[in-house]
């Protein structure tokens, strides 16, 4: 691709299986390029076939290693698997070191596997802004499963549960007494719980504790309600990986169709909310950087106040033309 290829053409090539074109279109989504928006909109309309699986858990819990194993096992069923692996950007430089891929290196040349690393670039919630655009593009490119590995979550970083069909929460033994998922406030978002590193002797206790916690919390006794399974896995022995694949597939097919439709609406609502938020933020920041420097002086001197200045700025951001037009 030595000449600049239009995004619509990239999408057409991606749909025909050209992974380099898919990769380039994902880069344009990351850049928030206005030129790419119609192609990404088209990708959204055409997507919807792939099963989007979110993998989350505290830092170091074994997410990437598990994604590698899971991808292998899904490949063995004949599925094509794409992975979007998210790591944090440095708040100081804006740069990042994206290392998840190192844990998936034995998949490196399988043509049925596509791995893309993404930095958060200041997005909160454990996701990158373009992660869902990437999932659409990869769906259109023919991948049956799209696995999204979030950054190691802390408090309140639960966006993945609003964006995926199946959410897997990973906890590892030996990271302190408390169950990490509870501490991080992510116990409730799991469709499936994984206790990783089950080759370690202290894993049994984590498994027991987690099952106990879930039993205490069970309020939904509807006969067809999904019962959240707890799966112990080890990347070293391979224990539990088949079981996890089975749970993921059951969660996709066993959920009753009205519940599935409700989830699809929830995912769509979240997508709309995030898209609007991102467009607004982008426009706001561009305006802020280029037009507000003179106000800062007065604000610092306290001759104007932040509230009326902000409202004025927001008004001008919203009414100063269409969002897709290049900013003056």
Residues that bind ligand GTP (CB under 6 A): 57, 59-65, 100, 103, 152, 196-197, 199-200, 234-236
The alpha carbon dihedral of 241, 134, 123, 314 has a sign of negative
* Interface with another protein, residue 26, by CB under 8 A: yes
* Interface with another protein, residue 109, by CB under 8 A: yes
Q: Which stretch binds Mg ion (CB under 5 A): 63-71, 107-115, 139-147, 291-299?
A: 63-71
Q: Are 123 and 129 in contact (CB under 8 A)?
A: yes
Return the one option of ligand GTP, another protein, Mg ion, none that residue 196 interacts with (CB less than 5 to 8 A, by type). Answer: ligand GTP
Measured CA to CA, the distance from residue 239 to residue 208 in angstroms comes to 17
Q: Are 106 and 1 in contact (CB under 8 A)?
A: no
- Shortest distance, CB of residue 107 to Mg ion, whole angstroms? 14
Q: Are 71 and 101 in contact (CB under 8 A)?
A: no
The closest alpha carbon to 28, from 147, 98, 130, 143, belongs to 130
CB atoms within 10 A of CB 223: 4
* Interface with Mg ion, residue 65, by CB under 5 A: no
- DSSP 8-class letter at 283: H
- Shortest distance, CB of residue 218 to ligand GTP, whole angstroms? 27
Site string for Mg ion, 146-175 (x = CB under 5 A): ------------------------------
Nearest residue relative to Mg ion (C-beta): 64
Q: Which stretch binds another protein (CB under 8 A): 96-104, 177-185, 201-209, 217-225?
A: 96-104
- Shortest distance, CB of residue 236 to another protein, whole angstroms? 18
Measured CA to CA, the distance from residue 7 to residue 26 in angstroms comes to 10
The closest alpha carbon to 82, from 116, 119, 56, 110, belongs to 116
Q: Are 254 and 87 in contact (CB under 8 A)?
A: no
- Shortest distance, CB of residue 104 to ligand GTP, whole angstroms? 9
Q: Which stretch binds Mg ion (CB under 5 A): 42-50, 61-69, 132-140, 266-274?
A: 61-69
* Span 244-283, contacts to another protein by CB under 8 A: none
Measured CA to CA, the distance from residue 247 to residue 254 in angstroms comes to 10
Q: Which helix (H) or strand (E) segment is 19 a member of?
A: helix 19-31
Nearest residue relative to ligand GTP (C-beta): 152
Q: Are 191 and 251 in contact (CB under 8 A)?
A: yes
Instruction: Report the residue number, 146 or 194, with the smaller CB distance to ligand GTP.
Output: 194
- Shortest distance, CB of residue 159 to ligand GTP, whole angstroms? 16
SS3 86: strand
- Shortest distance, CB of residue 190 to ligand GTP, whole angstroms? 15
- Shortest distance, CB of residue 64 to Mg ion, whole angstroms? 3
What residue ranges bind Mg ion (CB under 5 A)?
63-64, 100
């Amino acid at each position: 691709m030595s000449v600049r290829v239009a995004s619509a053409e990239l999408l057409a090539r991606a749909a025909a299986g050209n992974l380099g074109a898919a990769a380039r279109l994902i880069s344009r989504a990351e850049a928030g390029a206005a030129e790419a928006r119609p192609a990404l909109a088209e990708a959204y309309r055409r997507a919807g076939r792939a099963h989007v699986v979110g993998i989350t858990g505290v830092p170091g819990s074994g997410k990437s290693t598990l994604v590698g194993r899971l991808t292998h096992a899904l490949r063995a069923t004949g599925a094509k698997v794409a992975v979007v692996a998210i790591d944090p950007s440095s708040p100081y430089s804006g740069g990042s070191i994206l290392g998840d891929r190192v844990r998936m290196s034995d998949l490196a040349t399988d043509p049925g596997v596509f791995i893309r690393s993404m930095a958060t670039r200041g997005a909160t919630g454990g996701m990158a802004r373009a992660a869902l655009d990437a999932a659409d593009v990869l769906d259109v490119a023919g991948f049956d499963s799209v696995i999204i590995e979030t950054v190691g979550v802390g408090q309140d970083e639960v966006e993945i549960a609003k964006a995926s069909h199946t959410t897997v929460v990973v906890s590892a033994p030996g990271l302190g007494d408390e169950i990490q998922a509870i501490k991080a406030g992510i116990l409730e978002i799991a469709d499936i719980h994984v206790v990783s590193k089950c080759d370690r002797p202290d894993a049994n206790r984590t498994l027991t504790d987690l099952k106990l916690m879930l039993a205490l919390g069970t309020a939904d006794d509807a006969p067809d309600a999904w019962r959240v399974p707890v799966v112990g896995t080890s990347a070293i022995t391979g224990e539990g990986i088949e079981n996890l694949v089975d749970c993921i597939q059951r969660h996709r097919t066993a959920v009753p169709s009205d519940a599935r439709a409700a989830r699809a609406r929830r995912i769509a609502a979240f997508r709309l909310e995030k898209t609007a938020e991102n467009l607004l933020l982008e426009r706001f920041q561009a305006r802020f950087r280029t037009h507000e420097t003179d106000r800062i002086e007065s604000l610092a001197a306290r001759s104007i106040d932040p509230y009326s200045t902000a409202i004025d700025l927001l008004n001008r951001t919203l009414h100063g033309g269409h969002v897709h037009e290049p900013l003056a």
